[in-house]
Amino acid sequence: MFESAELGPKVTKRRYAAELPELRSALLKAHLSLKGTSTPLIIIISGADGAGKGELIHRFNEWFDPRGVDTQAFWQSSDEERDRPRYWKFWRALPERGRIGIFFGSWYTEPVIRRVHHKITARRLDLELDRIAFFEQMLANDGALIIKFWLHLSRKKQLARLKDLESNPRSHWRVLPNDWEHFELYEDFMEAAERSIRRTDAGHAPWHILEASDKRHRDLAAGRILLEALEKKLREPRITGTELAVHAHASGPARRGSPDQATILSGVDLTQKLDSREYKLQLSKCQSLLSRLAWAAWEKKVPIVAVFEGWDAAGKGSGIRRVTEALDPRLYRIVPVAAPTDEERRHHYLWRFWKHIPRKGITTLFDRSWYGRVLVERVEGFAREDEWRRAYLEINDFEDQLAQSGMVLSKFWIHISKDEQLRRFKLREKIAFKQHKITDEDWRNRKNWNGYQVAVNDMVARTSTKYSPWTIVAGNDKKFARIQILKALCDHIKAAL
């Protein structure tokens, strides 16, 4: 594969000087056009040690407007990064729409290095590569332009380059001890790299292999590839955030399906209840158990995420409170999910949830969550049909990553009947300190009850996994609901400890 590396005639100094100005000017123009679009540009720079990855990054920073470029070097992880699922550090480094993110080291680095050192099997490497392919596909679907460079050096050239770098006082620091270690493993490294490139070379995220022994060739070729890809992307019909929403509204929200057929929700026995005495007894017992479990989770470094979804007025808030009453304030955080901020809008919709993923041993309670994509955004038409349809897969992958990192993941849908909701709405309007909890939006949502019902059934059916099942809470009786939540949460934590 690497033998095919694009190697034109050696680029002379004169030719470089003649061709560069026009290329730079065109790249800069393309960069300026990128601003204000919904596309982030992700550039991954990989390759042999000593092939000039750092130099190429300098070149890009020179050619583009540096104020629109973020260079991300994944080098030494902080404990905040190590205490979370592996992709957390990549999500926090993704560029905003309209900006360029240059990745020096990326999601490829660790799997390849681990394979080279025989810490994982070839099969496991393939699984990691499939995750990467899915991740890049997801970003591309969201509008990202992804370009990946592999800088190739033959074994002989690499040896010469490393020696050369090391002998120059200005560049000797660029040769790190493990560069030599890698050099010893040249063949293994190339094998793992080739496997990675082959398995993740997709139309929406292509690899470009550059022969790196001639620096001028390397720079010009990389610049031209970037320019061509950018210009092609910019010629696509431009869909900005705002146009997206309009587009979705025009095509109309999806509310089909017959809500009357037997469904997950219709099977819930809403007559279940608890009397006050029994409730108090159970509450004290469950909260006591939960407080001990949360403490044990802290000691064993097990993170916990609990998601609360449900009809308006179903009792999400009061359910969450019964949970937090049992927890030490040092051990948990509540994340209320409302409309995204402008910064959040400039990222993939999962970005703002990744941000709040807890460190090991800590509990995060989401008051509404990433499921908004397949609930309110679907029903109200804020997301296009292709967007919410692929969200099931994206969410399952997201939760799979959380679970694989050892996280307890509890999801609650609090179900109430339409009549019970009406009763609570009316009650809220009467009680002074509850009036703020009932808004026009609640009444509007209520009119879409059937649409939501279809969406909830789809959601539960498509995202109940072994590692992260939904708990459907019978919510007509608040006391019964709260105990159900506490019990399920305790069960989930207990199973993980």
Instruction: Work out which of 342, 440, 466, 495 binds its own copies, going by CB under 8 A.
Output: 342
Tokens of 42: 């992700």
Q: What are phi and psi of 305, to 5 degrees?
A: -125, 130
Q: For the segment 223-282, give every residue that binds its own copies (CB under 8 A).
A: none
The one-letter amino acid at 399: E
Instruction: Work out which of 287, 410, 463, 476 binds its own copies, going by CB under 8 A.
Output: 287
Q: Which is nearer to its own copies, 80 or 278 (CB)?
A: 80
329 binds its own copies (CB under 8 A): yes
Tokens of 188: 């293994």
80 binds its own copies (CB under 8 A): yes
Tokens of 86: 């592996």
Strand partners, 149: 45, 208
181 binds its own copies (CB under 8 A): no
Give the contact letters, 412-441, x = binds to its own copies (CB under 8 A), - = no: --------------------xx--x-----
Q: Which is nearer to its own copies, 144 or 362 (CB)?
A: 362
- # binding residues, its own copies (CB under 8 A): 55
Q: Which is nearer to its own copies, 149 or 388 (CB)?
A: 149
We find the least distance from the C-beta atom of residue 363 to its own copies, in angstroms, to be: 12
We find the least distance from the C-beta atom of residue 369 to its own copies, in angstroms, to be: 13
339 binds its own copies (CB under 8 A): no
CB-based contact 87:398 (threshold 8 Å): no
Give the contact letters, 473-492, x = binds to its own copies (CB under 8 A), - = no: --------------------
Instruction: Work out which of 13, 170, 256, 466 binds its own copies, going by CB under 8 A.
Output: 170
- The burial of 464, by beta-carbon neighbours within 10 Å (0-12 exposed, 13-18 middle, 19 or more buried), is given as middle
Candidates 110-118, 336-344, 372-380, 458-466; binding stretch for its own copies (CB under 8 A): 336-344
Taking the CA atoms of residue 467, residue 308, residue 492 and residue 297 in that order, the dihedral angle to the nearest 10 degrees is 110
Helix, strand or coil for residue 209? strand
188 binds its own copies (CB under 8 A): no
Candidates 1-9, 54-62, 143-151, 407-415; binding stretch for its own copies (CB under 8 A): 54-62
Only one residue has tokens 């939760």, namely: 399
CA distance 408 to 122: 29
What is the CB-side half-sphere exposure of residue 165 using CA atoms within 13 A?
21
CB-based contact 40:144 (threshold 8 Å): yes
Distances (CA, A) of 110 to 46, 73, 77, 113, 120: 12, 13, 12, 5, 11
Among 226, 150, 144, 246, residue whose Cα is nearest residue 193 = 150
73 binds its own copies (CB under 8 A): yes
CA distance 183 to 191: 13
Residues in touch with its own copies (CB under 8 A): 24-25, 28-29, 32, 54, 57-58, 61-62, 65-71, 73, 75, 78-80, 83, 102, 104, 169-171, 173-174, 287-288, 291-292, 295, 317, 320-321, 324-325, 328-330, 333-334, 336, 338, 341-343, 359, 367, 432-433, 436
